[in-house]
Amino acid sequence: MTGNINDLSRYSQYDTEKLDLIKEVLREFKPIDMVKCYCREISFDEDAILESSMDMDIDDDKVPMESRPGELREIRKSVLKVIPFSEPEKYCPECGREYPKEEVVCPDCLVHLKKISDKVDVCDIKSEPKFIFNGQNSYESFEDLLNKGNLLKINEFDFTIDDYQIILHDIKSQAFLNFNKLVKENEIDFDELDILEKIILFAKSFVKVDYKSSGSQLGYFESDVISIDDRQTDSLQITTLIHELSHFLIQEILIHILCKLLDATRNSLTESLLTFILSYAHFTQLIDEYAAHNVEGRFTIFGFQDYSSFTQIEQSMDGEMTAEEIEITKSIGNTFALSIKEILESLIDRQMREEIKEQFLKDVMERPNYRALEMENCQILNDEGFIKAIWLILNDGCEVAASNIDKLLSIL
Kind and range of the H or E run holding 225: strand 225-229
Report the residue from 95, 120, 166, 412 that binds Zn ion according to the rule CB under 5 A: 95
Spatial separation of the C-alpha atoms in residues 37 and 34, rounded to whole Å:
5
Report the residue from 106, 262, 273, 295 that binds Zn ion according to the rule CB under 5 A: 106
x/- track of binding to Zn ion for residues 244-283 (CB under 5 A)? ----------------------------------------
Considering only the stretches 87-95, 120-128, 160-168, 364-372, report the one whose residues sit in contact with Zn ion under the rule CB under 5 A. 87-95
Q: Is 193 in the site for Zn ion (CB under 5 A)?
A: no
Kind and range of the H or E run holding 313: helix 308-316
CB 412 within 8 A of CB 165: no
Cβ proximity to Zn ion: between 92 and 356 the closer is 92
Report the residue from 60, 89, 94, 98 that binds Zn ion according to the rule CB under 5 A: 94
Q: Is 381 in the site for Zn ion (CB under 5 A)?
A: no
Closest CA to 243 of 94, 356, 325, 375: 356
Report the residue from 92, 146, 257, 394 that binds Zn ion according to the rule CB under 5 A: 92
Give percent helix, percent strand, percent coil of the chain, each to the nearest 5.
65, 10, 30
Site for Zn ion in 301-330 (CB under 5 A): 309
- Cβ-count burial 105-123 (b if 16+ within 10 Å, e if not): ebeeeeeebeeeeeeeebe
Number of residues that bind Zn ion (CB under 5 A): 8
Q: Give the helix ranges, DSSP H, for 157-267.
A: 161-185, 195-206, 234-262
Closest CA to 38 of 363, 397, 384, 379: 363
Q: CB of residue 294 vs Zn ion: minimum separation in angstroms?
A: 11
Q: Is 109 in the site for Zn ion (CB under 5 A)?
A: yes
Cβ proximity to Zn ion: between 80 and 95 the closer is 95
- Contacts with Zn ion by CB under 5 A lie at 92, 94-95, 106, 108-109, 292, 309
